[in-house]
Structure 1
Amino acid sequence: MRAQRVAEEFAKLYGSAPDGVWSAPGRVNLIGEHTDYNDGFVMPFALPQATLAAVARRTDGLLRLHSADIGGGAAGGVVELPLDRLAPGTDKDWTAYPAGVVWALREAGHPVTGADIHLSSTVPPGAGLSSSAALEVVTALALDDLHDLRLPRRQLALLCRHAENVYVGAPTGIMDQTASACCTEGHALFLDTRDLARKQIPFDLAAEGMRLLVVDTRVEHAHSDGEYGRRRAGCEKGAALLGVEALRDVPRAGLDVALARLGDDEEVRRLVRHVVTENGRVERVAALLESGCAAAIGPVLTEGHASLRDDFRVSCPELDLVVDTALAAGALGARMTGGGFGGSAIVLVRTADTATITKAVEEAFATANLTPPRVFEAAPSAGARRVSRSAWSGCTP
């Protein structure tokens, strides 16, 4: 049992058993890319891959962090951070994500007094599957429980986003944290990022003879890099030029008029076009799934990839290779997922075609002399939760 192993590792590190173990998953975004920071619509679902945190409360104002697989793995030492010295911009390592959550909770007035934390994750970093959000959410949920804060999941997600935006310095939207905190097993989450209204939409491809594959290109990306921020700034510029609060407010039927108003600023025109049409694609996919027409979402996924590649320009040759190869091998649809500049693509396939399409993608990467991709099936899974309420008696230092 993975949770027990993490608890045992905690005991060896810190000399006593943890107060409990918590889990927060990574996510795949089915559709709705770069819409969340434009107050738009998204539709993620949680993955089985998750970050586990064994945690014990402290009362001396000290945060101690260790990871089994980040920043040097088991060979890395425990990092000690006094709570009163936590400040944005002071940490450029992986520890900024959990430390940022502690800082955000304290900044909001919550009486977090310290913690010992040991982390273990199966969410691939840099793959566009929200490994950072899983790290943030699992920390927030554990501290919420241990300090009896009783914060709603929506509030935990907002605090985690604040930590990533301000403490880490990555200008991400709210989707990743909400997905990790709020998704439910067997469903995709239709999320309105303006008011955080949520709707769980049944998503059982296996029952309809289909699978959704994730292809991790192993090309790592970083949200705090300048390209992501430049696109967000471009979207904000487009909204300002159009006189709207956010690009969410540009109606699909009025897109051509809006683009004409932007004049010769081709870069902003492309960004606006993607966001407006992508919001429409999220609504179309939601309607198709609710109507029992899951196979029909394939072309919508592919359309979304073309928009991300040509208008938003956040794809890369490896992602395009996955999409083009999968479609040529008979996939129902495919697109990049996540922020882009690397990471993963998703491929909708008939169950009977899974092996053939997987082999075609792997062979295409081999022919191009690229690092072999990691391919796995994405199954809609549960969101963040506590997986242990007490220490195991077998945990000894």
Structure 2
Amino acid sequence: MIDPVARAAAAFRTVHGEAPARIAHAPGRVNLIGEHTDYNDGFVLPCAIDRGTAVAIGPAADGMISVTSADYDETDVFDPAAPFQPAPGWRSHVRAVAAVFRARGLPLAGARLGIAGDVPQGAGLSSSASLGVALAAALDGEQRFDATELALIAQAAENDFVGVACGNMDQLIAAHGQAGAALLIDCRTLAIKAVALPEDMAVLIIHSGITRGLVESAYNARRAACEAVAARLGVKALRDADLPALAAAAGLDAVACRRARHVISENARTLAMAAAVAASDWPQIGTLMAASHASMRDDFEITLPEIDALVARLAAATGGIGGARMTGGGFGGCVVALARGDRVPALHAAALAHFASVGRVPGLIHSCRPAAGLQITPG
């Protein structure tokens, strides 16, 4: 597939007959561990991937924003000064980012956009955050915002206008990703620490073939449940709770306890995983990934039996030199495996065997190294 930056620029030139003024590119991400902890003010350990979304931009004299999607061969035109109006599919994400600028008293001039990406949608690899961060950077022609502020604009677009109660992990890693490293992110303070991946560590992403939409899924319900437990415990967020306090809490039903137990234990696993990756502690990596997946399956209840089976096959194929878990918001999407590079052929074979057993055409099976975050280049 042609690079998204080249395709976005080509789409712009085809429609407008000239080169764009600049192009913003933001990557997707894979989360190595730390699921549903970001909106609980906790810790996450994602890395940016070598797939992303590019937004080519140039001025428009009529004050409107016109957009061409190279991926869908579709267009949209809207007035950035008018109240937000949802539109089908990708269009709402573009309009939502513009709406955040408007809501913050930052008027946007007219613009022409060309968009292209290669992050699989509905795969749990943050295609929407990739788009949101690239859009925010492209629309910020005056360069008023740093990378963190652009990430928070993209998050606000999801929360306030698209309708997904996501945390800030996806946008922060899209903005700040570093080549060769995962980022340990404190989602409360926004502090970021690079965790270099050993040279012999492979990151393998396998799309289960089951897509999901976060708005329609139980994602928002899980967030509401976590916030309710935190309120019952008298803490700002589950980041501030521990397992003894949860066990001692009166009046919590069994489901609420399981939801909170996942978040509290996942925060601890994330901190331990950062240390294990830095030390190339393969047994600990495998143990932590297995425990994370089991917690998502049993306590948070966001996996599916077919994905559980894929994780089990991949974990076995590491031969004890790595591990596997579902990644992303849940209810479909991708599995991530961390393993020594010489185990990749066995993991690839295990993935193909899984797809044969469930009768699916193999989806994305992609081995990568962590990539850089947001990049802005002249058109």
TM range (shorter): over 0.9
5+ residue gaps, structure 1, are: 391-397
Separation in 2 of the partners of 1:295 and 1:150?
Answer: 45
Could you say if the C-alpha distance between residues 153 and 7 of structure 1 is closer, same or farther in structure 2, counting changes exceeding 3 Å? same
Asked if the contact 2:81–2:107 (Cα under 8 Å) also holds between the matched residues in 1, the reply is no
Could you say if the C-alpha distance between residues 295 and 188 of structure 1 is closer, same or farther in structure 2, counting changes exceeding 3 Å? farther
Could you say if the C-alpha distance between residues 246 and 92 of structure 1 is closer, same or farther in structure 2, counting changes exceeding 3 Å? farther
Q: Out of 184, 193, 201, which is 1:199 matched to? A: 193
Specify the alignment match of 1:116 in structure 2: 112
Specify the alignment match of 1:368 in structure 2: 358
- How far is the alpha carbon of 1:92 from its aligned partner? 4.1
Higher mean displacement: 264-273 or 324-333: 324-333
Asked if the contact 2:97–2:153 (Cα under 8 Å) also holds between the matched residues in 1, the reply is yes
- How far is the alpha carbon of 1:262 from its aligned partner? 4.3
SS of 2:28's partner is strand
Separation in 2 of the partners of 1:298 and 1:366?
Answer: 25
Could you say if the C-alpha distance between residues 273 and 61 of structure 1 is closer, same or farther in structure 2, counting changes exceeding 3 Å? same
Separation in 2 of the partners of 1:338 and 1:301?
Answer: 13
SS of 1:95's partner is helix
The amino acid across from 1:367 in the alignment is S
Separation in 2 of the partners of 1:107 and 1:59?
Answer: 22
Could you say if the C-alpha distance between residues 380 and 295 of structure 1 is closer, same or farther in structure 2, counting changes exceeding 3 Å? farther
SS of 1:85's partner is coil
5+ residue gaps, structure 2, are: none
Separation in 2 of the partners of 1:155 and 1:53?
Answer: 18
- How far is the alpha carbon of 1:191 from its aligned partner? 0.7
- How far is the alpha carbon of 1:154 from its aligned partner? 1.2
The amino acid across from 1:32 in the alignment is G
Specify the alignment match of 2:22 in structure 1: 20
Q: Does 1:83 align with 2:74?
A: no
Could you say if the C-alpha distance between residues 29 and 218 of structure 1 is closer, same or farther in structure 2, counting changes exceeding 3 Å? same
- How far is the alpha carbon of 1:197 from its aligned partner? 1.0
Q: Out of 7, 10, 26, which is 2:9 matched to? A: 7
Specify the alignment match of 1:389 in structure 2: 378
- How far is the alpha carbon of 1:8 from its aligned partner? 2.5
Task: String of CA shifts for 1:262-294, please: whole Å, max 9, x gaps.
Answer: 445011100110000000011101122334435
Separation in 2 of the partners of 1:116 and 1:165?
Answer: 25
Task: String of CA shifts for 1:33-82, please: whole Å, max 9, x gaps.
Answer: 0000000001111000011111112353211111111xxx22x3x21111
Task: String of CA shifts for 1:319-347, please: whole Å, max 9, x gaps.
Answer: 21211111233352110000000000011
Separation in 2 of the partners of 1:216 and 1:262?
Answer: 41
SS of 1:102's partner is helix
Specify the alignment match of 1:99 in structure 2: 95
Asked if the contact 2:81–2:102 (Cα under 8 Å) also holds between the matched residues in 1, the reply is no
Specify the alignment match of 1:395 in structure 2: none
RMSD: 1.7
Separation in 1 of the partners of 2:94 and 2:63?
Answer: 15
Specify the alignment match of 1:61 in structure 2: 63
SS of 1:17's partner is coil
Specify the alignment match of 1:393 in structure 2: none
- How far is the alpha carbon of 1:235 from its aligned partner? 0.3
Q: TM-score if structure 1 supplies the norm length? A: 0.90
Q: Out of 163, 183, 190, which is 2:184 matched to? A: 190
Q: Out of 162, 167, 170, which is 2:161 matched to? A: 167
Q: TM-score if structure 2 supplies the norm length? A: 0.94
Q: Out of 126, 131, 137, which is 1:135 matched to? A: 131
Asked if the contact 2:34–2:43 (Cα under 8 Å) also holds between the matched residues in 1, the reply is yes
SS of 1:84's partner is coil
- How far is the alpha carbon of 1:256 from its aligned partner? 3.1
- How far is the alpha carbon of 1:352 from its aligned partner? 2.1
SS of 2:143's partner is coil
Asked if the contact 1:65–1:116 (Cα under 8 Å) also holds between the matched residues in 2, the reply is yes
